[in-house]
Amino acid sequence: MIFESYGVEKYLESNVKDSETAIHLIKYDPPPTNQPAAGVGANPHTDKSLLTILDFNLPGLEVLSKDQSQWLPVGPRPGAFTIFVGDQLKAWSNGRLHIAPHKVSMRGEKERYSYALFASPKNEAVVEAPKELVDEEHPLLFRPFKNMDFLRFYYSNIYMDNALQGFAGLAVN
């Protein structure tokens, strides 16, 4: 769908071949009982993936509004899924797709179990915007990079606010 909407479906097959999926099962502990405010389940982040699919049926997931003014609860809504665009797809789309920072807040006394399906480029795959998505009006925003090199950079700069920009950014965006 994404490839078609940009008229670059000819790259779909090679991109799928260069990607892999992994399912992560994630357990969050409840906040300490003496902590009145919500506990932190997952710190604010964007995903280091192309796409992430999450169960939409769990409370606690919050997404940062596009104007960055507030955290909005996502779901729960039985039977639905949440899909996040990851950093690598933002780079591939030359910045056309928005990556929404999200976090998990924990309330109550129960553990939270979630699962996430991450579709990511293979380690050796090069993330590069198709030439059709780059022109005078849309200059290249991220230099092409090997996925593994980006992940290495991210894990050694885990507190950096915008790892994609820090690693591969060519202009202010």
Q: Which spans of this chain sit near ligand AKG (rule: CB under 6 A)?
A: 26, 42, 47, 52, 54, 58, 61, 102, 104, 114, 116
Q: Indicate the burial class of 61 (C-beta count within 10 angstroms; 0-12, 13-18, 19 or more).
A: buried
Q: Closest distance between Fe ion and the C-beta of residue 117, in Å?
A: 11
Taking contact as CB under 5 A, which single stretch among the options 46-54, 85-93, 143-151, 162-170 is the one that binds Fe ion?
Answer: 46-54
- Indicate which of Fe ion, ligand AKG, none lies near residue 61 (CB less than 5 to 8 Å, by partner kind): ligand AKG
Q: What spatial distance separates the first Cα and last Cα of the chain, rounded to whole Å? A: 25
Structure-token pair, residue 16 = 């799928």
Instruction: Say whether residue 87 binds Fe ion (CB under 5 A).
Output: no
Structure-token pair, residue 13 = 């097959």
Q: Which residue, 74 or 141, has its beta carbon nearer to Fe ion?
A: 74
Q: Which residue, 51 or 133, has its beta carbon nearer to ligand AKG?
A: 51
Q: Which residue, 47 or 87, has its beta carbon nearer to Fe ion?
A: 47
- Indicate which of ligand AKG, Fe ion, none lies near residue 93 (CB less than 5 to 8 Å, by partner kind): none
Instruction: Say whether residue 47 binds Fe ion (CB under 5 A).
Output: yes
Q: Which residue, 48 or 133, has its beta carbon nearer to Fe ion?
A: 48
Site string for Fe ion, 102-121 (x = CB under 5 A): --------------------
- Indicate which of Fe ion, ligand AKG, none lies near residue 165 (CB less than 5 to 8 Å, by partner kind): none
Read off the amino acid at residue 83: I
Alpha-carbon distance values, 109 to 22, 26, 32, 73, 96 (Å): 29, 17, 8, 19, 40
Alpha-carbon distance values, 48 to 18, 127, 158 (Å): 15, 12, 12
Give the number of other CB atoms < 10 A from CB of residue 49: 23
CA-atom Rg of the chain in angstroms: 17
Distance in angstroms (rounded) separating the CA atoms of residues 86 and 74: 17
Binding site for Fe ion (CB under 5 A): 47
